[in-house]
Amino acid sequence: MPAMRAQPTSANLTAGPIGSTLARLTAPMLVGIVAMMAFNVVDTFFVSRLGTIPLAAMTLTFPVVMVIGTFTLGLGVGAMAVISQGIGAGNGGGIRRWSTDALTLAAACVVVLTTVGLATLKPLFRLLGATDAMMPYVEQYMVIWYPGMVFYVVPIIGNNIIRATGDTLTPSVVMLVGVAINAVLDPLLLSLE
């Protein structure tokens, strides 16, 4: 069976001046990074309006959220490296398989992390310093956040797969849309409390 060739991408990263190529790829990524930070700023703003104890409880969850985020970024960078090498080698079949494998691994990690997170919720956050007043808020937040992490982990891996093709604009747009949805839903969902 003949080897499959990769579909040509919209970005030729091997031609043209390096400086302009880096600027073209980096600018949308900076927007995406700002969008990721905006998630936390928007969440913090709306939760702070509920009072100091809910805000302190949410702040206590940041170490767990950051560890999972860092783990996810590592998976995404690994997927991006393998897929970009496959694109360079013209291995179309490998690119499809590796993309599917990366997304499947992301979903499997979500299942494992959610299961472990929910099973260890109280002892972990007690260890991190949750008081009796904070614990109900921590539980309420993390019982939703752990299963909802699929909407955090899978898009990060997917965005890195897209970036591997040389397209850094689409992932940034996806992140900006996510921030906008978050900004609209935060006050609506928090008002249900």
Check residues 32 and 63 and name the one with the higher pLDDT: 63
Residue 96, pLDDT > 80, answer: yes
One-letter-per-residue 3-state SS of the chain: CCCCCCCCCCCCCCCCCHHHHHHHHHHHHHHHHHHHHHHHHHHHHHHHCCCHHHHHHHHHHHHHHHHHHHHHHHHHHHHHHHHHHHHHHCCHHHHHHHHHHHHHHHHHHHHHHHHHHHHCHHHHHHHCCCCCCCHHHHHHHHHHHHHHCHHHHHHHHHHHHHHHCCCCHHHHHHHHHHHHHHHHHHHHHHCCC
Q: HSE on the CB side for 167, CA within 13 Å?
A: 14
pLDDT digits (tens, 9 = 90+) for 106-141: 999 999 999 999 999 999 999 999 999 999 999 999
Mean pLDDT score, 159-168: 90
pLDDT digits (tens, 9 = 90+) for 137-146: 999 999 999 9
Residue 193, pLDDT > 80, answer: no
Mean pLDDT score, 41-57: 91
Q: Quote the CA–CA distance of 113 and 118 in Å, as a whole number.
A: 8
According to the model, what pLDDT value does residue 132 have?
94
Which of 4-18, 20-34, 54-68, 76-90 is least confident? 4-18
